[in-house]
Structure 1
Amino acid sequence: MLDKTYESANAAVADIPESASIAVGGFGLSGNPNVLIQALLETGVGDLKVVSNNCGTDDHGLGILLRSGRISKMTSSYVGENKEFARRYLSGELELELTPQGTLAEKLRAGGAGIAAFYTRTGVGTQVADGGLPQRYGPDGAIVQASVPKDQRDFAPGGEPGTFVLEEAIVTDYALVHAAYGDRHGNLVFNKAARQFSPVAAMAGRICIAQVEHLVEPGELDPDAIHLPGVFVHRVVEVGPDIEKPIEKLTVQSAGAASNDAPFAKEG
């Protein structure tokens, strides 16, 4: 089926079951698939295992699923600006697999590329490699689950010897991403920071669902401008350009600090 469009976000996520694993694009609040996340919230499913760089904020992005108790495990690189995330983790309500940011991106990309595992220097000499990172706490604050040691080997790429740690690829049941442009075949174009994790999250999902601001016909996108080919995308929902795009942190430069007069804002 070449036409992968769905009439609504609710229809696109309707078959996501209880306890599903889901890779979600976004970087901070940039590129969060908020319409799909809201539709998933409305389904009522829970015990979700989510892989994403972070968990949004208390009131935006994945934070609304977390606040409703729908997420049982997060695999992410940092807790970020979400106080509820920290509270649930420290109280034992949420399992957390902390993963270095670049390693997380590569684990997702590897999953989509059919690579079972890879060795990296990142994390060597730390609990990431040696084990012992708290993954779940008990109500009394004691560690009830910790990460296990990972395989480590010595290699000499380019003639430079070093120790490397084995990281396994990530493959999830579903993926949710937001794109600026998409066509009916699923080819996607992302906007700026939204390109950080969205393509690799999409690749890792066995079923990828994309919300797009602008839906165009096949052939309208410049092939050289496509960031993710439609072979990785299974469902497309047009949400329009006027959706809410929350800003996690607004930073305004002082006069004369840069040649650009416009303030810098990190947004989707």
Structure 2
Amino acid sequence: MVDKITNNIEPVLKMIPDGATIMTSGFGVTGQPTQLIEALIDLGKKDLVIINNNASSGPEGLTKLFLAGCVRKLISSFPKSASSTVFPDLYRAGKIDLELVPQGNLACRIQAAGAGLGAVFTPTGYGTKIAEGKETRTINGKNYVLEYPLDADFALIYADKADRWGNLTYRKAARNFGPIMAKAAKITIAQVNETVELGSLDPECIITPGIFVQHVVKVGDIT
């Protein structure tokens, strides 16, 4: 019987080695798998490369991971905001590296990894510092920059409901990057609000099929 739901996430997270590349969903705090992220601190993970839309908002989740010295590099679209001060300070101090990726390109590159594409041409960034050192091409009179897929060893994502096969549904804006990250990572771990019986999810509402999810943990079951 396939059952991806676990009440003990520690053995799963222990599989993440130092230096791993990890995608984490979230648009600010919305859809951020806060408990999964913070569990990495207790396990003492180091030199992580984090792929996330932004450098966290508020004091929880990624902010704590940065403060604990677990992150070597951030690949992100919005590393600074009014409520994000920890990462900018660490970056200016030379303690964390940054790869800045426009938001559309970030999503496109993650999607490319999930779709098995070799690379994509995008007009975003052409003629800017982001395009320096990258291949460019003019197609049908328009200038493009070659960007390579973004994949990861692990994806830590947040969803609303899951069944034991790992099928996921999301709630409103909390959906954000979760579905595409699940497809672009070797191993996906989903933090969910509720686990339900197999067959109770409307197939038309399942956004992430269980084939892309290896482990499910319910909020509150992470200690």
Normalised-by-shorter TM-score class: over 0.9
3-state SS of paired residue (2:90): helix
TM-score by length of 1: 0.79
RMSD, aligned α-carbons: 1.6
Tell me if 1:168 matches 2:148: yes
Q: How many residues align?
A: 220
Offset at residue 58 of structure 1 (A): 5.1
**Within the alignment, does 1:221 sit opposite 2:201 as a pair?**
yes
Aligned residue for 1:74, secondary structure, equals strand
Aligned-partner SS, 1:85: helix
- Residue correspondence of structure 1 range 234-245 to structure 2 within 5 A: 234-239=214-219
1:81-106 Cα offsets, whole Å, 9 max, x none, are 32110011111111000000011011
Alignment match, 1:146? none
Identity %: 42
* Residue 153 (str. 1) matches residue 154 (str. 2): no
CA contact (8 A) 1:4 1:186 kept: yes
Structure 1 contact 31–193 (Cα < 8 Å) conserved: yes
Q: Deviation at 1:240?
A: 5.2
The one-letter code sitting in structure 1 at the alignment partner of 2:128 is T
Alpha-carbon shift at residue 112 of structure 1 (Å): 1.3
Gaps in structure 2 of 5+ consecutive residues: none
Q: Which residue of 2 aligns with 1:191?
A: 171
User: Normalising by structure 2, what TM-score?
Assistant: 0.94
**Structure 2 counterpart SS, 1:30:** coil
Shift of residue 61, structure 1, vs aligned partner: 1.7
User: What is the CA–CA distance in structure 1 between the aligned matches of 2:219 and 2:58, rounded to whole Å?
Assistant: 23
User: Would you say the 8 A contact 1:55–1:61 is kept in 2?
Assistant: no
CA distance in 1, matches of 2:58, 2:174: 20
| 1:40 and 2:51 aligned | no
Contact 2:19 2:46 in 1 (8 A): yes
Deviations 1:44-88 (A, max 9, x none): 011000001012135112111001110000000011332110011
- Structure 1 residue runs of 5 or longer lacking an equivalent are 132-148, 244-268
Paired letter, 2:212 = F
- Please list the CA deviations of residues 184-219 of structure 1 after superposition, one character each: whole Å capped at 9, or x if unmatched: 111111111121111112221100000111101221
Residue matched to 1:205: 185
Provide runs of 4+ in structure 1 moved above 2 Å: 8-12
Q: Distance in 1 between matches of 2:38 and 2:144?
A: 40
Q: Does 1:49 align with 2:49?
A: yes
Which residue is 2:122 aligned to? 120
